[in-house]
């Protein structure tokens, strides 16, 4: 039978939410690939499926457009939170993800704030293929690495316009140092509270924005002493705020918008992967 979905975006970082509470989870890797196809499907960077949960408002599972699973997506988390808060007429909810319980709040200006949990800084937690100093990897350009539930590799550059992201991004994403592949960030520091970020997203390519990548880039800049604890992260599609005191959880604050709601055709659900 047809599948209902909601298409949303966060500063152009687009995602689809499928609400499977009170029903069986219909999402498979093959279906994600079909739905994620921008020519034959719905098109998105990530898909989030909402499931019933005993200790939170919902459990959320995340997928990349290539059919690979991921532990968390900052943009889709904000979208799910926005949808559920509107549904329940509240300004605060908790979501269960593979990253644990994430608390989400609606700010006075309508933006969604998410406690994204502690960043993972150890080489085996990211993971890397071998024990290394994650603040300065032995790659050209000396990037830093961390995990926000998915791997992040951050380059600090003088001029973003000089970086060929479509060439460098996939080469780093698939580098043997990252057994689960990695998101790749290119950061130009405007000042200690403002960065310009461009993203090659694991499993999705060049992205207009990314909540978890914004967090990862800010965390790597803060731990290197380049940034203050609250950072405006300006992506191609718009800005978010990332806050990290260097010890506790990372907070992500930014807007989300609904693009449209729809229903898939039976043929998309039954097509050969």
Contacts of 151 (CB under 8 A, 6+ apart): 126, 127, 145, 178, 180, 181, 182, 183, 202
Query: Hey, what long-range contacts does 248-251 have (CB within 8 A, 24 or more apart)?
Result: 248/118, 249/115, 249/116, 249/117, 249/118, 250/115, 250/116, 250/117, 250/118, 250/119, 250/148, 250/215, 250/218, 250/219, 251/113, 251/114, 251/115, 251/116
Q: Please state the domain extents for the chain.
A: 4-115+256-270, 144-248
Task: Name the pTM for this structure.
Answer: 0.94
- Which band of pLDDT confidence, cut at 50, 70 and 90, is reported for residue 267? confident
Percent of the chain with pLDDT over 90: 94
Pairing verdict, β 69-70 and 58-64: antiparallel
pLDDT at 272 over 60: no
Among the CATH numbers 2.60.40.10, 3.10.310.10, 3.40.50.720, 3.40.50.2020, which is that of 4-115+256-270? 3.10.310.10
pLDDT, residue 266, reads 82
Structural tokens at position 21 = 């509470």
Q: What is the pLDDT of residues 130-177, one digit of tens each?
A: 999 999 999 999 999 999 999 999 999 999 999 999 999 999 999 999
The per-residue pLDDT for range 201-253, each reduced to its tens digit, is 998 899 999 999 999 999 999 999 999 999 999 999 999 999 999 999 999 99
pLDDT in tens, 149-162: 999 999 999 999 99
- At 103 the pLDDT is 97
Average pLDDT over residues 14-35: 95
Q: What residues contact residue 38 under an 8 Å CB cut-off, 6+ apart?
A: none
Read off the tokens for 213.
């990548």
CA-to-CA distance for 67 and 6, rounded, in angstroms? Answer: 18
pLDDT on residue 132: 97
What pLDDT score was predicted for residue 2? 80
- Report DSSP letters for 208-251, one per residue: S--HHHHHHHHHHHHHTTSS-SEEEEEETTEEEEEE--SSS--E
CA nearest 25: which of 55, 59, 54?
59
Question: Of the CATH numbers 1.10.390.10, 1.10.10.10, 3.10.310.10, 3.40.1280.10, which one belongs to the domain with range 144-248?
Answer: 3.10.310.10
pLDDT tens digits for range 32-89:
999 999 999 999 999 999 999 999 999 999 999 999 999 999 999 999 999 999 999 9
């Amino acid at each position: 039978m047809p599948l209902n979905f909601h298409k949303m975006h966060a500063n152009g970082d687009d995602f689809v939410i499928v609400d499977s509470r009170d029903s069986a989870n219909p999402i498979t890797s093959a279906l994600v690939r079909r739905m994620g196809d921008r020519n034959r499907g719905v098109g998105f960077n990530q898909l989030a499926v909402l499931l019933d949960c005993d200790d939170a408002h919902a459990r959320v599972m995340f997928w990349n457009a290539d059919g690979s699973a991921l532990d968390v997506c900052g943009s889709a988390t904000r979208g799910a939170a926005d949808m559920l808060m509107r549904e329940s007429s509240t300004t605060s909810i908790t979501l269960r993800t593979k990253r644990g319980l994430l608390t989400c709040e609606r700010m006075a200006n309508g933006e969604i704030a998410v406690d994204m949990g502690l960043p993972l800084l150890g080489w085996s937690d990211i993971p890397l293929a071998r024990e290394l100093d994650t603040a300065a990897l032995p790659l050209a350009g000396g990037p830093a690495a961390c995990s926000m539930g998915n791997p992040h590799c951050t380059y600090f550059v003088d001029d973003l316009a000089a970086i060929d992201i479509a060439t460098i991004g996939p080469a780093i994403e698939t580098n043997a140092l990252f057994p689960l592949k990695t998101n790749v960030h290119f950061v130009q520091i405007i000042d200690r509270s403002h960065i310009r970020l461009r993203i090659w997203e694991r499993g999705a390519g060049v992205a207009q924005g990314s909540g978890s990548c914004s967090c990862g880039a800010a965390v790597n800049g803060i731990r290197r002493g380049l940034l203050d604890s609250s950072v405006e992260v300006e992506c191609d599609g718009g800005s978010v705020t990332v806050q990290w005191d260097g010890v506790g959880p990372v907070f992500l604050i930014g807007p989300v918008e609904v693009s449209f709601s729809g229903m898939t055709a039976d043929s998309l659900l039954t097509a050969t992967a």
